[in-house]
């Protein structure tokens, strides 16, 4: 097996007395899509925030491309090749869609002209071209989620973290986003994706990691995970509650 692009080593993240992520470890191989599953509050977004540098882990390390990146700030990690979206989308609301993407493009294209040219390409890939000049605030939820992906892609990342980019979309929009993710995979992008919709996550993931109350309770292919009694309990337990 190749050297993993990302190694999550016994990562724990506490907020005061609450342990949001508890001793979680897993590896991600280059080119893989890993689905991160778990009930609400399981710690998925917190783990994303640790990997992308928004939180330093309370203990444990994150190794990215062979280097320890734990606690490095997000802007350094963006430069190293980690792109992410936010579950609660963060459009630059007062700016146009094009400006949003141009800002993200500056990382790889520091000149305004080059950044703008690159941004148009991203707009096209994410189906936002005809929205270029409207303010990001006026986008629909689907548009905002697309914009999140567009901004992350404008960074030309090698590793992409997608936090519920499909949730809340209608089936047509959802299919388009899934298509986009699969296209990225074809181009060799490594992706860690959080999604609640089973149909989606089972479809696109090579492997799944399941969290519950901050702990990893299962890891494996979709079929393996679906058979895991801990997973069944976590989900049925939640449904019964």
Partner 1 sequence: MKDKSIHWGLPILLVLIALPAVIQDTFFLRVITEAIMWIGLALAFDVLAGYTGYLNFGHGAFFGVGAYTTAILMMQAHWPFALALPMGGVLAGVGALIAGLPTLRLKGAYFAIATWALSRAVQQLALIMDITGGPDGMRLPSFLNPQFFYYLMLAVVAATFALLWYLLECSPFGLKLKAIREDDQGAMALGLNPTKLKMQAFILSAVPTGVLGGVYAYWITFIDPASTLGDLVSDQALVMVVFGGMGTLIGPVIGALLIFAFKTLFWAYLSDFQLLYLIILGAVIALSVVFIPNGLWGTLRGARSQKKTEEKKDEGPAAKLSPSEGE
172 binds, among partner 1, ligand ATP, Mg ion, none (CB under 5 to 8 A by kind): partner 1
53 binds ligand ATP (CB under 6 A): no
The piece of 51-59, 65-73, 83-91, 127-135 that touches Mg ion (CB under 5 A) is: 83-91
- SS3 assignment, position 39: coil
Quote the CA–CA distance of 29 and 227 in Å, as a whole number. Answer: 24
CA 72 to each of CA 63, 151, 198: distance values in angstroms, whole numbers, following the listed order? 11, 21, 33
- Member of 21, 35, 45, 147 binding Mg ion (CB under 5 A): 45
Pick from 38, 46, 152: nearest CA to 90: 152
- Member of 5, 6, 8, 20 binding ligand ATP (CB under 6 A): 20
43 binds ligand ATP (CB under 6 A): yes
Quote the CA–CA distance of 104 and 83 in Å, as a whole number. Answer: 10
Q: What part of residues 76-105 is at the interface with partner 1 (CB under 8 A)? A: 78-79, 83-84, 86, 90-96, 98-99, 102-104
The piece of 22-30, 43-51, 72-80, 123-131 that touches ligand ATP (CB under 6 A) is: 43-51
Which residues lie closer than 8 Å to 61 by C-beta, 6 or more apart? Answer: 7, 9, 10, 11, 68, 70
187 binds, among ligand ATP, partner 1, Mg ion, none (CB under 5 to 8 A by kind): none
138 binds partner 1 (CB under 8 A): yes
Q: How many residues does the chain have?
A: 241
Contact 153, 125 (CB under 8 A): yes
Quote the tokens at residue 147: 């914009």
Q: Which residues bind partner 1 (CB under 8 A)?
A: 52, 54, 73-75, 78-79, 83-84, 86, 90-96, 98-99, 102-104, 106-107, 110-112, 115, 127, 130-131, 134-135, 138, 140, 142-143, 151-152, 154-155, 170, 172-173, 176
């Amino acid at each position: 097996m190749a050297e993993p692009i990302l190694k999550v080593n016994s990562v724990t993240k506490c907020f005061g007395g609450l342990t949001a992520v508890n001793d979680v470890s897993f590896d991600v191989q280059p080119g893989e899509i890993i689905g991160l599953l778990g009930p609400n509050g399981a710690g998925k977004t917190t783990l994303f925030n640790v990997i992308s540098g928004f939180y330093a882990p309370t203990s444990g390390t994150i190794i990215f491309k062979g280097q320890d990146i734990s606690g490095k700030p997000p802007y350094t990690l963006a430069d190293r090749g980690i792109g992410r979206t936010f579950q609660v989308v963060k459009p630059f609301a007062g700016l146009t869609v094009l400006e949003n993407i141009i800002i993200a493009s500056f990382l790889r294209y520091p000149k305004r002209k080059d950044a703008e040219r690159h941004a148009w390409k991203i707009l096209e890939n994410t189906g936002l071209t005809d929205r270029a000049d409207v303010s990001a605030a006026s986008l629909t939820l689907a548009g905002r989620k697309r914009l999140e992906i567009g901004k992350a892609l404008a960074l030309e990342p090698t590793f992409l973290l997608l936090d519920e980019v499909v949730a809340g979309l209608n089936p047509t929009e959802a299919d388009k986003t899934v298509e986009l993710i699969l296209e990225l995979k074809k181009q060799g992008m490594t992706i860690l994706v959080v999604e609640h919709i089973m149909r989606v996550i089972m479809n696109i993931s090579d492997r799944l990691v399941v969290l519950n109350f901050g702990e990893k309770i299962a890891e494996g292919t979709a079929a393996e995970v679906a058979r895991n009694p801990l997973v069944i309990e976590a989900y049925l337990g939640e449904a019964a509650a």
